[in-house]
Each structure stands twice: as structure tokens, then as C-alpha cells.
Structure 1
Amino acid sequence: MESFGSIECFVRSAEGGSFAEAARHLSLTPAAVGKSVAKLEARLGVRLFQRSTRRLTLTEAGKLFLDEVSSSLTTIQNAVANLASAEGRPVGTLKVSMGTVVGCLYIVPLLGEFLKRYPDIIPDWHFDNRQVDLIGQGFDAALGGGFELPQGVVARKLAPAHRVLVASPDYLAAWPAVLQPEDLERCDGILIRSPQTGRVRSWQLTHRNGEHGPLKLKSRMTMSDSQAACIAADQGLGVALVSMPFAVPWLASGKLLRVLPDWYVNDGNISIYYAEHKLLPGKTRVFVDFIIEQFAEQQLGQRFSAI
């Protein structure tokens, strides 16, 4: 019988591509992880990794062994986590990645109620608009939109991911009425540059009746942050395209108005992602249920819809 610890070291090394990455995940030293994997290889009588100075690569035997043990390892870990609770309550560190806007404006305000219900959970929340490797980086869950769905990860839809055009009342009053998408070409555009790619993404407008139209804004300036774009738009500097979760408070205050209110950009869905396992850790299960409950109670799906 191989030790649970050695198998875990092997799986985390395979997922992370290095002993150092596995060591960070397991709170061990890279030397300890490497030694544990070497002992496992000696006992099995096969080489599991091809080692180089830059990265570990699984051998054919290693790939077969990983397929056999990885899901079982997670099931065992989840079972242990569910049993190791305080009087049956969910317990442990809850590592979650979430988009900055949705996280700061809508999820963090729920933190007090969540901890009131589950006081033995320790939040470890990361705010980033980039997709994370949910399993490889050891996240329990992630919230966001526009992510590819890797094997072994499931998504529960929370709300539509719509973007809308906004501008200040003063700016709109000073220009001829914008009645059709083609009218945007004469407007000053406050464009959003992706912080990941450095490029300004091209979008297509969708009418509430399903018709499509061009989105061609004359570039007046570019920003890499939606908040900065809204602040610029509030000064009457142009028309900005921002996500609905961020636009909601600006629209509610009247500081910004929708431009072409029958048109929007459909960017998929905002979802909560977690590993696909029959036996989820209690901390993950209650978090997923809590977020779905709160989105329904606060009608965030309707509020985030541009239709």
C-alpha cells in the first residue's frame, strides 16, 4: 500500500508541473516533495516523471498512474475534510477566485452574513479578472464570466454577462441623438484595453429583438479599468462600454445614462465554477449554495441583464 502522502505529492507535482509548485500547495519544501515522489517511483518500479531543470513531464506510466489515482485522491481528501469539522459545521480555508467588479461590489458585502452562518470557514479570496487553473492552483471555487470550462470543472449560471454603452447626461445633450449603432462612429469612445492582452477587444452589438449591429466607436482614449472609464464618462468625455454589474450603481444614481438602451453586448454568463466531485468539501458546498441563494434573493440576475 503506497502512502497517501507520496501519492498526493505525485498528483500535485503533475498538476503544477514542478516540485516547487506542489510544495507551495502542500506547505512542504521542494526537496521533501521530490524525495517523496522518488520513493514512490522506487516502490512502484517505474519512472513517473521525466525531469528537467525547468519542468516535470509525465512519462507514459506517469500518465496512466495519474488517471487512476487523481480522482480517488480528491474523493478521499473531501471525505476527510467533511469529517474534520467542528460539531458537523463546515470548516477550513475557502480559497476562491473572483472577478474584481463582481467580487468587490456584490460578493464581499455578503461576507458578514456568510461568516455568521459558517464561522469556522476562513475566506481566502483572490480578485482577478483572469481565468485561474481551479484544480491545479488549489482553488475551491471561482466566480466570473467568459471562462473556458476545463475537464473536471462544472459551472452554475448566476446571471447574464452583458455590457452596455454609457455616457453622462451632459455629453448626450451636447451631441446629436444616437439612434442607431452607426451613429456611434461620430462619438468619442472611451475604450477598454484588456490588461491581459493589451488589446482593445472588438464587440458586436445585439438588439433586444435579436438583431445584430456594428460597434464602432471613435477612439478618444483607452483605459484598462472599468471604474476609470466610468469616471471619465461622468466628466462628459465620451461613451464607454462597461459590464452591467459595474454600470448598475452609476445608472441608478443618474450620473450615467445608457446609450442605445435597446442594444447591448452579450458576453455569455457570470457563473460559479467548482470541481466536479460527488463528495464536495462542506465548505465549498455551502459557499456555492449560499452564492446561488443570494443571487436569487437580491435578483442580481435581473439587475445584471441589459434586456
Structure 2
Amino acid sequence: MTAVNSSDEIAPSRMLHRLTVLIVCLVWPLIWVGGLVTTYDAGMSVPDWPGTYGYNLFLYPYKTWLFGPFDLFIEHGHRLLGAVVGFVAIGIVIAAFWKENRRWVRWLCVALLLMVIAQGALGGVRVVLSDRTLAMVHGCFGPAFFAICVILAVVTGRRWRQDSDAERLRSSTSILTPTKKLAALAISLVVLSYVQLLLGAMMRHVQPTTSAGHFAGIVSTHILTAFFLWAMTGLVWLRLRRCGDLTLSRPGGILIFLVAVQIALGIGTWVVNYGWPSFMTWVPGSQSFLVQAKGFVDSMIVTGHVATGSLILAVSAMLCVRLFHRRWQAKQDRLVAT
């Protein structure tokens, strides 16, 4: 019995892959700038939408933007960068329907464009209505969009086609097929990463009506989940090493490092916003610490915590997709062998 030829074996379009890599390189800075907008409370520095103080978005005087107040600079810059991402997403859809032979990849590109439109609309309605809840939804939707961008960059790359070569998989006897339990752990890693983002967003966009007890519960859950996520990344990495596949084990190792950095940035974010935690009273000067208006370094710590969370989600999603692709290819390989 022979397996039916898969469209995955067709050489991917270089143009499409380059565009997906470009959008990945644009979206993470976009998340950084969006995080700065929230950190500096600059979301309403431009009160109208889709224009900027009555101007077309692209015709707003550049001198006023570049040399005006910093909150105007980052808010208008966030909109401009978002518009560039939208244009690249349009290019991705055109390239997909022109060069891409896999139907599911085409429709994933369409979904990407729809997500760009939805995210832009969320940001605009948030400004028009001056709604804090919409700002939280807007902030949670961005990391999911970033993860889809990373997945597209992976599935349109040359390595994805090389991984689809059944002959190479048959000759690589040292590579073991990932188990169902490992696949379930990978899915859990993605879900847990996103739950952490949601909890962080609830803390970052805390509502005025939120009680002290409710907020303390969110904080405690966020902290416990962070260490549980760290432990899970270690477990996943150990299981990935047994497979002998560096394309899986290396991202697993990167995740351990990223979560460790995220925990450190989380502690720094708490200190910047609320002062030293009670269990760190041994730190010199912590008893007399005074929370002040955020400076540049403080804002980078807080925003870095937000951006690193998005990176953890994206790497987790990439790892999950690669792992399931490896399992699918192992199944195809067995069909070829029979």
C-alpha cells in the first residue's frame, strides 16, 4: 500500500514565507508599542478614530508626531505600525492564493487578515467609546494574532517541506515519534500560556469596581500559574529530548528560559507598580520604598513583561504545531512502509 502524495511536499512559495517572516518581525514590536500605550496611559491621547485629530492617519503632520508629547508619539506610532501590518497581511493573502497550493494554508492566511481587521476595529471602538474592558480585550487578542503569524511562518518555510520527506524520516532511526501524552502536554502548554495572559490583562486593566479580595485572588492565581507553567515547560522539554529531534527540543529549552525571564520581569513589574512584595522585606531599602511615576526603565520592565508573555505563547504554539506535524508524518511514514 502506498500513501497518497501530500501537497505538503510541493515546494513552498519563498515570497509567501518572506512575507510571513516580515509580519512576525513587525507584530512583536507592535505588541511592545501597544504595551507602552497602556503603560503610559496613552490610549486616549488621540481621541478620534480612524483619523488623528481630524487628519487622515497617513497625512498627520510628522513634525507634530515626532516632536510632540510622548504619549501622542507612541499612540499614533502604534496606529501607523498597525496599518503597515494590515498591508502586509493583504500581501500575504494575495501571495497565498497566487503561489500556495495547500488550501488550508490559504484559508489560514485569510483568517490572519480577518484578525488584523478585527484587532484594528477593537482598538478603534475602544477609543471611540473610551472603554477599559475593550482595551483589555484588544490587549488579549494581539498575542493570539502573533501566535498565528508565527505558525504561518513555520508552515510556509523550507524546513516544513523537509520535515514532510518520508524518506528522511525513515532514515532517521534515532528520531522517535512524539507520544499522545506529549501532544496533550503541548496543547496544555499553549492553553496555560494564554490563561496567564488573560490573568495578566485582568491585573493590568483592573476595573474600578474590582474589590481588593478579588484583585488579590487574581494576583495569587497569576503567580501560582506562572510557576506551574515553568515546571510544565521543564517536563515537556525532558520528554522532547527523548525524541531526539532538535527542532522540538530546542524550542522547549527556549521556553524554559523565557518563562524564567518572565517571572523575573513579573517581580520587577510588581515592584514598579506596587513596591516590594512582603516576602522580600530583607532587600535593603524595601521598607522605605516609594512608588513613583514610571520612568523609561520602569516602563520598559512593565512592557517587557507583557511582550515576553506574547513570545511564550507564540513559541508554545510553534512547538505544538511542529509536534503534531511530526506525529502526522510518522503516521504517513507507516502507511508508506506498508
More strand by share: 1
TM above 0.5, one fold?
no
Bigger relative contact order, structure 1 or 2, given CA contacts below 8 A and separation 6+?
Answer: 2
State the TM-score bracket (shorter-chain normalisation): under 0.3
TM-score (norm 1): 0.24
